[in-house]
Amino acid sequence: MSRFPSDDVDRLRRRLIKGVPVLGLGFMSCRGKEGIPEAPPQSSVKPVVADPIVLNGDRGRPLPPSSEPGIRVRAARVDGDLVEFGPVGARFWVTAPGRDHRAMHVGPVRFQRLAAGWRVTWSVSGRTSTRVIEGAEPLTLTMADREEVGPEFRGRMLSGTVNLVGGGDSRRRHIDVVCHLSMETYLPGVLAGELFDSWRPATHEALAIAARSFALCERFHWLSRRSHDVVADERSQVWNGGLAPRRSSEAVLRTRGEVLLHRGRVVPGYYSASCGGRPAAAIDAISSNPVNGIAPLSVPDSDRRGVCPCRSFGPHGSWRASFDIRAFNEALASRVDTGSEVPRWPIDVELIEAFESGRPRSFRISSARRGSKPLELRAVDLQRGLNSTATGRPVRSADFEVSVRPDGIRVDGAGFGHGVGLCQYGTEALARLNTPAREILARYYPGAEIRRVW
Ligand SMILES: [Zn+2]
């Protein structure tokens, strides 16, 4: 079976609203019905039709649990063998479950990973003490004086039990800082990381249900495969840590235990910042795993196309980016095998395949010079190549068209992120029209049922 979404998601993923100072909340007016045509009229454009793999998509999705599960969140990956937790004077319980070790230490506590074990160093009143814990098992760390919230680490308040897990190889070692906490404790920090606090309660509630469903599917997939289920950034979903504003906490509480189901199993509730008015199918934009072929993650039928109000709400409805010849050549070079030829300027860029959604699938880039071989690139690869040559992420989605200019290329596109499932800007626009969370979810995950399962 092919890998679950999150592998690709680990590269592609997620919407990107956040952390997001970038966005600024200016509600620019966008181009309404104009812009990227639904499907280019050229006869050379072949639609790509997904295989009938829908039924297989059930196996990779979990049955809904009947009680609240835990979730393992990788809050940070620290390069090397050393990690330190404070603040000064804080008391930590440090345990090595496999070694039957439990001791209290006063911060700052430093953990050094050894070949097979850990060296723990702490100091009290200027006197430094050290203890070696043998065995390669992960160490766990909890605050002795605070139950809910853990220590602050790299600007994020951790939560739950903090696990230190060594990894990597002899050339490049690392320590993963992984929080183990309950699902409902985790979710407010996701809403805080993914949404503006000023956004409507219905937006927070809809995202709480989608994010809970997504996290359940990640947990199902990774439980026996690695030491964490999700990472705390946009590769999974942003997690701001254990402290969240009231609106986030209230939305999680109001939707406690509610998940998206399809044929009795949980739907991975993908979402992105903005679909640009043209939603993508998960099977096209996330990965070809059969899980992504289910109806709630497919492209809405033509009646629903264009209904997402994000096109005229928020800063990502449409955008434009320009690249000079040198940057464009660098972008192409980054996407071809070493030694392969990159078409030389002047070039022509032609759309050769589109998805059923109307979004571009691949482009052909050919040189006007004789004897030069054309290069075919998937839209998502061209997007990555172009973004690798620029600061920020000027090509915000894989839904774009390319115009060749005398001095380079211009990219005109719509949306931000992969465009699958719930659209955050679209959701907020609907919430401002008093659309309830359940109705919003019905639009973005057609055919999914919402049920409280714990
Ligand atoms: Zn949208």
Residue in this structure with the two tokens 């026996």, named with its chain if needed: 224
> What are the residues facing 390 on neighbouring strands?
none
Ligand 1 centroid, distance to 124 Cα (angstroms) = 55
Helical (H) or strand (E) element with 153: strand 149-153
Q: HEC string of 293-353?
A: HCHHHCCCCCCCCCCCHHHHCCCCCCEEEEEEHHHHHHHHHCCCCCCCCCCCCCEEEEEEE
pLDDT of 32 over the 60 cut: no
Ligand 1 centroid, distance to 303 Cα (angstroms) = 15
User: In whole angstroms, what separates CA 195 from the centre of its chain?
Assistant: 14
- In the chain, the amino acid numbered 114 is L
pLDDT of 20 over the 60 cut: no
Ligand 1 centroid, distance to 92 Cα (angstroms) = 45
Ligand 1 centroid, distance to 28 Cα (angstroms) = 14
Residue 345, classified by CB atoms within 10 Å of its CB into exposed (0-12), middle (13-18) or buried (19+), is: middle
DSSP letter for 290, please.
Answer: G
Closest Cα partner for 440 from 454, 425, 422?
A: 422
Ligand 1 centroid, distance to 280 Cα (angstroms) = 10
pLDDT of residue 366: 94
Ligand 1 centroid, distance to 186 Cα (angstroms) = 26
pLDDT of residue 41: 34
Mapping DSSP to helix (H, G, I), strand (E, B) and coil, where does residue 218 land?
helix
Ligand 1 centroid, distance to 305 Cα (angstroms) = 10
Q: How far apart are CA 95 and CA 156, in angstroms?
A: 22
Ligand 1 centroid, distance to 424 Cα (angstroms) = 7
pLDDT of residue 56: 63
> What are the residues facing 182 on neighbouring strands?
70
Q: How far apart are CA 258 and CA 335, in angstroms?
A: 42
Residue 282 near residue 297 (C-beta atoms within 8 A): yes
Residues 95-121 have pLDDT tens digits of: 987 778 889 998 899 999 998 899 999
Residues 194-204 have pLDDT tens digits of: 999 999 999 99
Residue 198 near residue 27 (C-beta atoms within 8 A): no
Per the model's pLDDT, the better-predicted residue between 236 and 47 turns out to be 236
Quick one: tokens of 262?
Answer: 């399809």
pLDDT of residue 49: 45
pLDDT of residue 111: 96
pLDDT of 224 over the 70 cut: yes
pLDDT of 55 over the 80 cut: no
Closest Cα partner for 175 from 218, 118, 222?
A: 118
387 φ, ψ (degrees, to nearest 5): -70, -25
pTM (2 d.p.): 0.86
Residues 152-185 have pLDDT tens digits of: 999 899 999 999 999 999 899 999 999 999 999 9
Closest Cα partner for 108 from 157, 149, 151, 154?
A: 151
Ligand 1 centroid, distance to 241 Cα (angstroms) = 27
- Rg of the chain on CA atoms, in Å: 24
Ligand 1 centroid, distance to 288 Cα (angstroms) = 22
397 φ, ψ (degrees, to nearest 5): -150, 175
Residues 361-384 have pLDDT tens digits of: 999 999 988 888 899 999 999 999
pLDDT of residue 89: 85
Residue in this structure with the two tokens 């109307």, named with its chain if needed: 358
Residue in this structure with the two tokens 């835990």, named with its chain if needed: 70
Quick one: tokens of 313?
Answer: 């709400």
- Range 53-62 average pLDDT: 72
Quick one: tokens of 277?
Answer: 């008015």
Ligand 1 centroid, distance to 232 Cα (angstroms) = 24
Residue in this structure with the two tokens 């430094």, named with its chain if needed: 128
Mean pLDDT score of the chain: 86
Minimum mean pLDDT range among 76-80, 96-100, 112-116, 142-146: 96-100
Give the rounded percent of residues in the chain with a pLDDT score beyond 70: 85
